[in-house]
Structure 1
């Protein structure tokens, strides 16, 4: 509900808010797309019935619980198992056979949200016989997302849609074999989840923490401005082993990035790239 008469954030209030968030909580949103960020700030203000920028800053600076709710609103959480099935089909056919040549596989799934796409990747690796020699680091800026992901519990009402996605990804197994029904929820099998390490990581401020054969960061950078996109792509480049793979979202690209020349295209239809020597 939009509060009647609530004014838009003034430019100086917007800058004061960003400064406070960085100074008090260590979150730097200055590289986010301004229009997208403002839309989500206004949504939070409407949800909490905050009617001015000054009141918003005072609320967030003095209340950690409200800040956590704010962070959940700001960090968009749109995810599903086997989202964009053709992407996972391409992983099956073009990436996993290469990963199979490594004795130990390290994968970074950045911006993992509540874990649905991480578990999808785990199922692919399991079916390829690679999961038992893989370590997947699933990271997100939002601690609440990570807590949900660690449980491995998902709503039952999504399973029909997820089953369709799974089949469209080129799978032939029974999707229901990978979870146990719990009334109106399901629990992803432990053997699928146990190779995942969930960690809090901020793409804006944190550094690389390992060397990876595959990095996935899908539908996250669309909320960043060009400068921050280039910074994050450099982080991924530095984190990849020689000839490692990078998977982006369907609306993301390296086309206008300063790092374009450092990658070769593996599958343009699903935004799958490979680091050059």
Structure 2
């Protein structure tokens, strides 16, 4: 097993969903501040953080989800940030090892979108595929947007966060999987027990993946929410990474309303680890309520 000079996060939390086991593992976290909200009132954002006993400098979780069942090889939903982004991120290989899943056992990788904190973990530092036997599934609009004929290299004028959202990085992450890349463009069953649910706005093909059905299901929602204490009460708070902020706000409001009315759980890439929440309407906003979880389960 690889070694590092720091102790990786290997916590894993499990939920049974029908015949499948849904597991949350940590790829780590990154530290930011309220400039993550480019147009939302940062005084209000800071007050919401304090009201939730959170720092004015949010620590944003990086969650990856694993789906295992009797009828398929292990499936991943997103792959984390990969290597080279600091010691607090890129922990997925160690997290998978902690639950007994080898990289060569992964049969399917479902990507919510092609920002690098979701797809860079597809490859090792030398560019070889980390999951050599996996098919990669992603919305067709993501491929169209990020994988153009001439991905733009980063510029010295780019803001510090821009390196995490480059077309060049997305192209490199997907390069060894191009002959195993499958796309979709509407809500549909894309893998055993998993339905793709387009949630466009954050990026042109940003999508969720519903595991199971009805109120027993868990909908992985990608980057619908980055800072729960702010964007729950105020779904209108868009983040700097949103490609279409207005559409992202609309998608968040719609999803929160549906989750509140339907009673299903949501699992965010950046909701606080382990990441699975119920959504409850509170006044004009919402509150994300951590779901109870099972600490150990055979899968």
Q: TM-score range by the shorter chain?
A: 0.3 to 0.5
TM-score (norm 2): 0.35
Larger helix percent: 1
Structure having the higher Rg: 1
Larger strand percent: 2
TM-score (norm 1): 0.37
